[in-house]
């Protein structure tokens, strides 16, 4: 899960030192600005999951991260780019090449789902998906990030075409939708927990529809 430590800045010996709620120094070897930056991103993800995009405010992020609003505004002009950067730091599909399309898809999706509930993805992704439908600016900034995050999946399909496992005229974007579609359905509509053991049947069904007919 995301780091749930409450960050604060305390003064010691005439200089500010970042410490957690227990008073322990945070990663003494890292620059304070880097720690503050990460604390802001962590707080953003936490509040996105708890409150949703609409209720999230820069003031709330600053309070949760233990920094001033000015610290946030020096890095991000508004909450939109802040949210986009925070989301972009979450795990995406890994670029996996096992030598077969089935192996690629199974390893890729299984690894992703293992991380899904260990990070803020499970709460942040539904929040952003719901908001982008009526927030054109969010959609404009988020869509390139989403495309980049699924690019490894498209590359796996391209390799499948090159190996003759898939038809040469396959619509790769539509095929990618077919592969990850069951994940979206469970996440947004059924509320059922996504488990890595569902990957095998999911991939088998998708490939049954994508492979060339004899």
For the segment 28-63, what is each residue's pLDDT rounded down to a tens digit? Answer: 444 568 899 999 999 999 999 999 999 999 999 999
Q: Buried b / exposed e across 111-132, counting CB within 10 Å, b at 16+?
A: bbbeebeeebbbbbbbbbeebb
User: Structural domain boundaries of the chain?
Assistant: 8-82, 90-210
5 sits in the region (left: phi over 0; alpha: psi -120 to 50; else beta) called beta
Length of the chain: 214
Per CATH, the number for 8-82 is 1.10.10.60
Which CATH number among 1.20.120.450, 3.20.20.70, 3.30.930.10, 1.10.357.10 corresponds to the domain 90-210?
1.10.357.10
Supply the pLDDT for residue 2. 40
Q: Token pair of 159, please?
A: 């390799």
Q: What is the residue-averaged pLDDT of the chain?
A: 83
Q: For residue 18, list its beta bridge partners.
A: 9
Supply the pLDDT for residue 20. 39
Is 120's pLDDT higher than 80? yes
Supply the pLDDT for residue 191. 67
Supply the pLDDT for residue 89. 92
For the segment 182-205, what is each residue's pLDDT rounded down to a tens digit? Answer: 888 887 777 677 778 888 988 998
The residue assigned the tokens 């053991």 is 197
Lowest mean pLDDT among 15-24, 133-142, 164-173: 15-24
For CA atoms 146, 2, 48, 78, the dihedral sign is: negative
Supply the pLDDT for residue 17. 42
Supply the pLDDT for residue 4. 39
Model confidence at 115, pLDDT cuts 50, 70, 90, reads confident
User: If you average pLDDT over residues 105-120, what whole number do you get?
Assistant: 89
Q: Token pair of 1, please?
A: 């899960």
The residue assigned the tokens 């998906």 is 129
Of residues 142 and 16, more confidently modeled = 142
Supply the pLDDT for residue 203. 92
Model confidence at 24, pLDDT cuts 50, 70, 90, reads very low
Supply the pLDDT for residue 127. 87
Supply the pLDDT for residue 143. 93
By DSSP bridging, strand 8-12 and strand 15-19 are antiparallel
Q: CA-to-CA distance for 214 and 212, rounded, in angstroms?
A: 7
């Amino acid at each position: 899960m995301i780091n749930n430590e409450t960050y604060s800045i305390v003064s010691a010996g005439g200089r500010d030192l970042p410490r957690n709620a227990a008073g322990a120094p945070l990663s003494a070897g890292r620059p304070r600005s880097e720690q503050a930056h990460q604390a802001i991103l962590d707080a953003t993800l936490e509040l996105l999951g708890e409150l949703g995009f609409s209720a999230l405010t820069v003031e709330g992020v600053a309070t949760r991260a233990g920094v001033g609003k000015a610290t946030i505004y020096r890095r991000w002009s508004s909450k939109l780019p802040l949210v986009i950067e925070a989301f972009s730091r979450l795990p995406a599909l890994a670029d996996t090449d096992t030598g077969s399309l089935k192996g690629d898809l199974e390893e890729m999706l299984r690894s992703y789902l293992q991380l899904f509930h260990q990070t803020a993805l499970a709460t942040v992704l539904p929040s952003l998906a719901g908001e982008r439908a009526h927030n054109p600016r969010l959609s404009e900034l988020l869509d390139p990030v989403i495309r980049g995050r699924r690019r490894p999946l498209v590359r796996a399909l391209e390799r499948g075409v090159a190996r003759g496992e898939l038809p040469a005229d396959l619509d790769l974007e539509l095929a990618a939708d077919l592969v990850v579609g069951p994940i979206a359905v469970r996440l947004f509509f059924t509320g059922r927990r996504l488990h890595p053991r569902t990957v095998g049947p999911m991939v088998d069904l998708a490939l049954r529809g994508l492979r060339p007919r004899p």
